[in-house]
Amino acid sequence: MAPHHQDHKDHHPRHFPAELPHHHINHQPAIKYQRRSQFWKKFLTASSFGAILFLLTSQADQAHGHQQPPTPTPSSSDLLEPPPLTFSKGNTFQISIFQDLHFGENAWEEWGPLQDLSTTRVMNTVLDSEPATNLVVLNGDLISGENTYQENSTRYVDQIVEPMVRRGLTWASTYGNHDGDFNLSREGLWEEERKWLGSRTGRMVPTTDNEEEAAAAGVTNYYLPVYPAGCGNRRKQTRQNSSWYRWAANIYQNLNLNLNQNQNAHEEEATDCTAPSLLLWFFDSRGGIKYQQRHPVTGHPLPEPNWVHQSVVDWFTSTSASISAAAGGRVIPSIGFVHIPTNASLALQDSSSQKGGVDANRQPGINDDVPVAQQGQGWCGANGESGGGGGEWCDYGEQDVPFMEAIASTPGMMALFSGHDHGNTWCYKWDGQVPGTSQQKEEEEEEEAVTGDEGGQGNGQGHERYGSWIRGSRQVVVDQEELKEFVIRTHIRLENGEVVGAVTLNATYGEDKYPVTPNEKTHLLDSALEDF
């Protein structure tokens, strides 16, 4: 796929080695010293930090005469799902979003591994500054797939998830255009990620055994329900009855970690745990390069379409309707995550539009990536043919129109968070018609905010790739009382500990005025990277 003039990420040369050279060294820190295929063994070696603490706490318990639970021999199915997500005791639910991390970039050069370490430092700093985090969302481009070797491309997962494993936090991922490449399989990435107890990353589409159809839809298409405070204890009762769960929970408790999203295990159970209070939807916008596939004539690697597939749209529409029907027709508030933004973000960013584009006070945030690189960019026709694949180049093929229509017409959908463009961190209310779709969003309290937090100061935590904006993480805070009015709050926690861009996404967002977000650069704060 031919690079476009805005997506500087694709301007780097691609490397497609046939095999891992004998002289190549994977510079990433050794999080585990031995790979184990069984899930329970992977848990025991969660990280060097976890392994050491497990040893120390075991010795301490023996010294105090505590009897250790017997080590079971569970099947891998025992670890398929962590306990359900619930609101905290204070009736809030907080999400820390990390995206465009780009681990593994130029691992053969000195600056590559150093930037991976800097990215990990940012994640640790943010999570230390946001102790109320209930869930971490990795919103695409976890790895720079074009810079990896087939033999070790998925191993970066271990380094990426270490900050969450250390804190006993769970996470959920979407995959971006750099998470699928000639040497990096999206399926392999998902399989590696799912070996961790803390991973909630799912795959619900398609429901078919046809491998070709399954590959077309992408991987990270799924939803996560969030239940009221106290429902976690009730809904995990079956899991707790197993000896494996009790054993794993005991280890987490010994490590002073938390298997239940920083909740008090004795908090009072809610009266109704049959239906979720909040739905989190995750979509795979695909893009990048097909794994180990070349054009039969040119021999060039084959590009992957860069929009949410129609089968995913159909699944989302039918599933959201079924969930609402099961809840007695109640509208359940929802938040979506996708890596590549839709054409709606580009239209709302346009300063020549009727709304006048991004305003520094009404949509505070960095707005340096103009125009937004949207889904369908560089692909022509209804089915899509990429200029990079030998077809005629076009700016935009409108393939994301069905996805936009579905998002805009789904009751209760409050916000769609995207990444991809590292220099944008704004949010914008999408309350009407946008180019490329005839769908009209009604003026309701649950009007949604289409976000442009596309990396950079808001969500571009990775020190790799283009841009020197100060790194940080978008935080999304949902209060159960405010949720009744379809209101959510969001801010950006910077790597220096400061908070910027705090806004309330409500009925008056876009009219309310907020402080201007400063546009600072990372190199002003990170002297260790001045030479790179």
Give per-residue pLDDT as tens, 484-511: 999 999 999 999 999 999 999 999 999 9
Above 90 in pLDDT, residue 456? no
Give per-residue pLDDT as tens, 207-246: 667 777 777 999 999 999 999 998 876 555 444 444 434 4
Give the pair of three-digit tokens for residue 262.
């920083």
Distances (CA, A) of 512 to 22, 350, 414, 448, 476: 59, 20, 18, 16, 19
In this prediction, residues 66-94 reach a mean pLDDT of: 64
- Name the band, by pLDDT with cuts 50, 70 and 90, for residue 331: very high
Least confident of 63-67, 83-87, 130-134, 346-350: 63-67
- Name the band, by pLDDT with cuts 50, 70 and 90, for residue 192: very high
pLDDT of 509 reads: 94
Entry pTM: 0.78
Greatest Cα-to-Cα distance within the chain, rounded to the nearest angstrom: 73
Above 60 in pLDDT, residue 179? yes
**Residues facing 93 on adjacent strands:** 478
pLDDT of 454 reads: 35
Mean pLDDT of the chain: 76
pLDDT of 210 reads: 75
Q: What is the 3-state secondary structure (H, E, C) of 326-344?
A: HCCCCCCCEEEEECCCCHH
Beta strands in 378-518 (DSSP E): 379-380, 385-386, 413-417, 424-430, 448-454, 472-479, 488-494, 499-505
pLDDT of 466 reads: 64
Give per-residue pLDDT as tens, 271-325: 478 899 999 999 999 999 999 999 999 999 999 999 999 999 999 999 999 999 9
Spatial separation of the C-alpha atoms in residues 509 and 512, rounded to whole Å: 6
Higher pLDDT, 433 or 470: 470
pLDDT of 6 reads: 41
Above 70 in pLDDT, residue 344? yes
In this prediction, residues 251-257 reach a mean pLDDT of: 47
Residues of the chain by 3-state class (helix, strand, coil), percent to 5: 30, 20, 50
Spatial separation of the C-alpha atoms in residues 127 and 168, rounded to whole Å: 11
pLDDT of 491 reads: 97
DSSP 489-518: EEEEEETTS-EEEEEEESTTTTTS--PPPP
Least confident of 60-69, 198-207, 210-219, 432-441: 60-69
In this prediction, residues 407-435 reach a mean pLDDT of: 87
Above 90 in pLDDT, residue 258? no
Specify the 3-state DSSP secondary structure of 13. Answer: coil
- Name the band, by pLDDT with cuts 50, 70 and 90, for residue 396: confident
pLDDT of 263 reads: 43
Least confident of 282-296, 325-339, 407-421, 426-440: 426-440
